[in-house]
Amino acid sequence: VDYRGMRVTAQTIVPGILEKEQEQSVVYGSTDFGKTCTTNEKYKELLEKVSAMLKIKPHSIKTEKGDIVELLTAVECKGIIGNDGRHYLLDLLRMMPPDLNYLPVDVEHISPAMKQLEYPQTYKHRLCCLRQELIDAFIEQKYVDFYRSIALNLSKLRTNESTTNDSTEQTNVEEVKRIVNEISVEDNSREIIQSACRSIGSVKDNEFDVRFNPDLFQPHVTLNQTASETAADTKLLKEAAEYLILKQIPLMIQDFQDHTAVPVDGESLSEAMHSRGINIRYLGRVAHLLNQQPSLIYLYEIVVTEILCRSAKHLFRSYIQSVPIHLLSFSISHFLNCFLTIISSPTSEHLSDELSTVTHNGTVNTNLPLTNSTNTSSQKTNNKKKNKKQQQQQQRKQNPLLRNESLDFLSLTSKTCWLQLTNEAKIKYNFDLNCDDIENFIEKYNVRRTCILRSFCVKTGIQLSMREYQFDLTNKSTRTTNNECFNEEDIINIYPLIKQNSPKPSDAYQFFTTGQQKIQQGLLREGFELISEAHNLLNNVYGPMHPEISMCLRLLARLNYIMGDYQEALYTQHKAVMMSERVLGIDNPQTATEYIHMALYSFANGHSINASKLLCRARYIILTCCGENHPQISLIDSNLGLILQSYGDYENALKFMEKSLELNKKFYGLKSLKVALSHHLCARIQSCRGDFRSALTSEREAYQIYKLQLGDEHERTRESAQVLKHLTEQAVVLQKRMNDVVKGQLLMIPSITIQQPSFQNVLEMLNVVNGILFIQIREKDLDLIRDELNKQTINDQQTTATPSIQTLSTAAEQAAALMNNEVD
């Protein structure tokens, strides 16, 4: 739980742990960093399976007294037997192997390639570990190398010919496994397997078993193993650290280029990195690689914004800890002003002026001429003094600036704030911001200020009032005056941020994954039933509101739409939208995605105006999250252009479609199929406006791309050629009539009949834009497929189905599902 700069870790109390001392409760592990350590046979038995799954190597350590203790976890892990008889394991920080890229290790442990990248980097603690996702990917790569090494040595043994490594790397993995399965029990074959195990660092010499030692490079731990074993463990750890930098991060960049992953904000970027085992501390390295890809400039802006906001969060955490509770709103507004505006002078100077003014106004003037005072005058004087003290006490209660509290936080200015931010970004993420204030940052990286504000508030738990904040300077040439955009009334609340691992119902996820597989095979009805069952199980486990339930509802709505039930699709998607708004937030990118799906289903039900409003709302959310320079904006603009075209708003439709075309050129390339589709859609709108010359130019661009990418005989190329021919005829007719008017043969240009696209035609184009394609299969072809399938089934009753039969089965089931639901 993170709240007001402090982090509290909450966990379940082990039954009986409060009744004993810690040293008496721990029966496995160490409580003093390895000076003393205990073990337990029952724990060793229970941890054998866990260590095998987590790839933890069994190892022994030596205590200060010289005792040898065998462990299956890191030395800090503690095993406690509760009063209920169960075995508990605590303090799992070092269960994963350490990250050599951020540990102060000797230079000899770092390869030359990593030295060129300036690794290892210094870090503020020694808890840097590799993620489990990276370990799994690394083990999988080692498994492939293991089989290739055996195949290489076996081929050399059989043919007595040397084979180059390049040819081995190009060998198919299945072919390698086939060769390995043919290994006999001869001594030479055993030597080949042992050699392969040694080359990949396997723990066993007769099978593949790669594990890591979590207690390596721990200064307080003495390992009880030979120097060769330590060298082998270090080599494996070094290879994993190199794999993260040289393989895994470039693979993620390649996924971004292929648009298989499209992060929208810092949260989705973090999920994409964590799913590939990349820690957040590598944001600087990711930003360096993204800066070299012009088509990924939008991701570079998201990464830089994430680095800035995370650095600001760390600065805010130390800043807010020393602030009294009664100054909380004022201090938060002051920090936001220093961070997002220009504050050139400390606020304490202005506060001292206010303090002196208030004090002066509340002071009684005692420099009066003395007269023969009476008892009444003395009583009046005493009453005035009492009133004065009461007024000052009330002012101190009401005005926090008059209290005798520490106001050190008021000395913060924009210059000092951004100096600390640049230092934090360099130390934490190895990235140079090179900015003195927010104006330089926005000018250099082209990031919207609202995106920075939203990301920072989400990371710190700050809740602001909704109003138009005037960020821009009135006179940008002079930055000597304070531009205070936020005030104390703007801070509504600061709420705790809770991070936890929710339990996952295995049965529900099994139903969900199986349903996805059925859908991919074309068995839509069976997939729908499995997803519905998963939705019911998730509802029983999590309750009515959960992000996973929203995901199930979205998939069920998509299936209803594909199967032709548009009303049920809209109803289900409406529930998904409401759940996403409640669970994830109204400004979450996933909520915008839900709006896009709901807009498609609304249009299919004939609600064109509502569909356009939903898309405008989704566009506003994406603009708030990452700005206008994003592929998601291109998708929304294409949908908006088609829907606006459907009810005759051609001018605005063309604006959105041209913006989509511009973004597609930037992200996908000038000769991509998406750009060709955008050219075609622009030509449709331009022809509806009567601008045949521009439509002819746009359609010609689309035809050239289709011809280049797909060839002359492809269906899309032929369709584009027909449209090009039709537009040419229309342009010739229009020009001929204009010439007749010029010559005086006609008094005015006759109106040209322009056929507007039908509702079904617009819906088909919306499906294409959103990635939904329908296949038309005639009933006659379907019968032929079924007959062929029956013949193959009779012939191969006793054998497993071949890939060709699986393909026929998939096609037949998909065709049957489409035909039964009357979907093209």
Helix (H), strand (E) at residue 87: strand 87-90
Task: Assess contact for 439 and 475: CB atoms under 8 A.
Answer: no
Burial profile 757-772: b = 16 or more Cβ within 10 angstroms, e = fewer: beeeebbbbbbbbeee
Encode pLDDT of 219-278 as tens digits: 888 888 888 888 888 899 999 999 999 999 999 999 999 998 899 999 999 999 999 999
CATH class of 507-621: mainly alpha
At 411 the pLDDT is 85
At 116 the pLDDT is 86
Distance between CA atoms of residues 683 and 745, nearest Å: 31
Q: Count Cβ atoms below 10 Å from residue 363 Cβ, excluding itself.
A: 10
Distance between CA atoms of residues 711 and 718, nearest Å: 10
Helix (H), strand (E) at residue 741: helix 715-743
Q: What is the DSSP letter of 340?
A: H
Is the C-alpha dihedral spanning 232, 113, 121, 279 positive or negative? Answer: negative
Residue 68, φ and ψ in degrees, nearest 5 = -100, 125
Distance between CA atoms of residues 194 and 302, nearest Å: 48
Helix (H), strand (E) at residue 71: strand 68-71
Beta-bridge mates of residue 87 = 81
- DSSP reduced 3-state for 494: strand
At 366 the pLDDT is 36
At 361 the pLDDT is 44
Tokens of residue 752, six digits: 């040209």
Q: Count Cβ atoms below 10 Å from residue 92 Cβ, excluding itself.
A: 13
Q: What is the DSSP letter of 214?
A: T
Task: Assess contact for 479 and 344: CB atoms under 8 A.
Answer: yes
Q: What is the DSSP letter of 31?
A: S
Half-sphere exposure of 513 (CA within 13 A, CB side): 6
Angle between helices 608-626 and 589-604 (to 10 degrees): 160
At 737 the pLDDT is 66
Judging by DSSP bridges, how do beta strands 78-81 and 26-29 pair with one another? Answer: antiparallel
Angle between helices 673-688 and 715-743 (to 10 degrees): 30
Give yes or no for a cis peptide into 400 (omega within 30° of 0). Answer: no
What parts of the chain have a pLDDT lower than 50? 161-170, 184-185, 187, 349-350, 352-377, 396-404, 474, 798-824
Residues 6+ apart with CB under 8 A from 263: 256, 269, 271, 272, 299, 302
Tokens of residue 240, six digits: 């994993």
Among candidate residues 138, 133, 169, the one with its CA nearest the CA of residue 151: 169
Distance between CA atoms of residues 205 and 195, nearest Å: 8
Distance between CA atoms of residues 425 and 423, nearest Å: 5
Domain limits of the chain? Answer: 14-95, 132-211, 507-621, 669-772, 779-820
Distance between CA atoms of residues 421 and 308, nearest Å: 7
DSSP 740-764: HHHHTS-SSPPPPP-PPPPHHHHHH
Tokens of residue 207, six digits: 């099978």
* Residue whose pair of structure tokens reads 């000769």 in the numeric block: 671
- Residue ranges of alpha helices (H) inside 461-565 are 506-520, 524-542, 547-562
Give Cα 453 distance to the centre of its chain: 18
Among candidate residues 519, 503, 500, the one with its CA nearest the CA of residue 511: 519
Residue 81, φ and ψ in degrees, nearest 5 = -95, 120
Residue 182, φ and ψ in degrees, nearest 5 = -90, 5
Distance between CA atoms of residues 481 and 369, nearest Å: 45
Tokens of residue 201, six digits: 């660092």
Q: What is the DSSP letter of 244?
A: I
- Torsion of the alpha carbons at 11, 17, 19 and 23, rounded to the nearest 10: -130
- DSSP reduced 3-state for 56: strand
Tokens of residue 625, six digits: 């999250």
Helix (H), strand (E) at residue 158: helix 132-159
Tokens of residue 286, six digits: 């990711």
Q: Count Cβ atoms below 10 Å from residue 149 Cβ, excluding itself.
A: 22
Residues found in the chain: 824
